[in-house]
Amino acid sequence: MKRVKYTIANWKMNGGKDSIKLVKLLARHIKKTGHIKSKVIICPPYTLLSDFIRLEKKMIYGAQDCHYQDKGAYTGSISAQMIKSIGCKYVIIGHSERREYQKESSNELRLKIQAAVNNNMRVIYCIGEKLSEIKNRMQVLKKQISTLNNNLDINNIIIAYEPIWAIGSGKTPKIIEINSIHKNIRTLLSKKFGVRKSNKISILYGGSVNSLNASDILKLEHVDGALVGGASLNYRDFSKIIDSYL
């Protein structure tokens, strides 16, 4: 089954007023190489999003989080509706750093996902086990997948499998293991949504993807792209990762 491939840059809390240069370089690189193998999406901090959207229209953008209400007394928060209104179509939800530092619960994540989908945005939903949970990995992932409502429009859902212990650590599961975990994730999705629907969901790998390991990971049968943190902040590294599909 042919699925959409994605290369998604999660800039986290990085980037400043000069970062548009990186976005422009990447847009030029994609145009020059005629790259069509994956959709490249940049997810910068909120402060840069509207500038980027205005200054480089050839790139696709995502936010790193959203609130579940459209508006209201939620100081410091930004809603899916607000993000959509500036022309941003993608949003990362459930990243392990937010689950940990912002104590985001499954219930809150469910509401955020629903809010994003209601606003016609595509959700990059992150799941992944801690180091101490490796033995129970599939149970952990099953529980995280159960956060998705059964009646959700899955056309708007992308899964990013990110083992928490692999994020920013330089470690990854063995390449062959990544493939089998992704296969098992699809089985979980099939049980929940049915085979036909779940076959449409792209499942990305994230966690220490870099210019050296990208081609091995991205050629795996069950991997539909990558969510990239650290290496997405560097033009050479990220452009090499994008080119790894070729």
Residues that bind ligand PEP (CB under 6 A): 10, 162, 167-168, 206-209, 227-231
Query: To the nearest whole angstrom, how small is the minimum distance from the Cβ of residue 24 to ligand PEP?
Result: 22
How far is Cα 112 from Cα 62, in angstroms, rounded to an integer?
A: 15
Question: Given the complex with ligand PEP, which of 108 and 162 has the nearer CB atom?
Answer: 162
- Helices 175-193 and 137-145: crossing angle in degrees, nearest 10, is 40
Paired tokens of 204: 């990305």
Question: What does the alpha-carbon distance between residue 138 and residue 191 come to, in Å, rounded to a whole number?
Answer: 13
CA 190, 195, 197, 198 dihedral sign is positive
Q: How far is the CB of 132 from ligand PEP (least distance, A)?
A: 18
**For 108-202, where are the E strands, in sequence order?**
122-127, 157-161
Using the structure block, give the residue that is written with the tokens 């606003």.
Answer: 119
Q: Is 45 left (phi over 0), alpha (psi -120 to 50) or beta?
A: beta
HSE, CB side, 13 Å, CA atoms: give it for residue 194.
7
Q: Which is nearer to ligand PEP, 113 or 204 (CB)?
A: 204
**Of residues 193 and 204, the one with the C-beta less far from ligand PEP:** 204
Q: Which residue is at the shortest CB distance from ligand PEP?
A: 229
Residue among 42 and 228 whose Cβ is closer to ligand PEP: 228
Residue 96 CB, shortest distance to ligand PEP, in Å, is: 7
Nearest-10 crossing angle of helices 20-33, 46-55: 50
Q: Which two tokens stand for residue 125?
A: 């939903």
Catalytic residue among 67, 95, 129, 182: 95
Nearer CB in complex with ligand PEP: 9/189: 9
Closest contact distance (angstroms) between CB of 99 and ligand PEP is: 12
Of 108, 129, 162, 182, catalytic: 162
Give least dist CB 238 to ligand PEP, A: 10
**Is 162 annotated as catalytic?**
yes
Q: Is 182 a catalytic residue?
A: no
Q: What is residue 197's DSSP assignment?
A: H
Q: Which residues are catalytic?
A: 95, 162
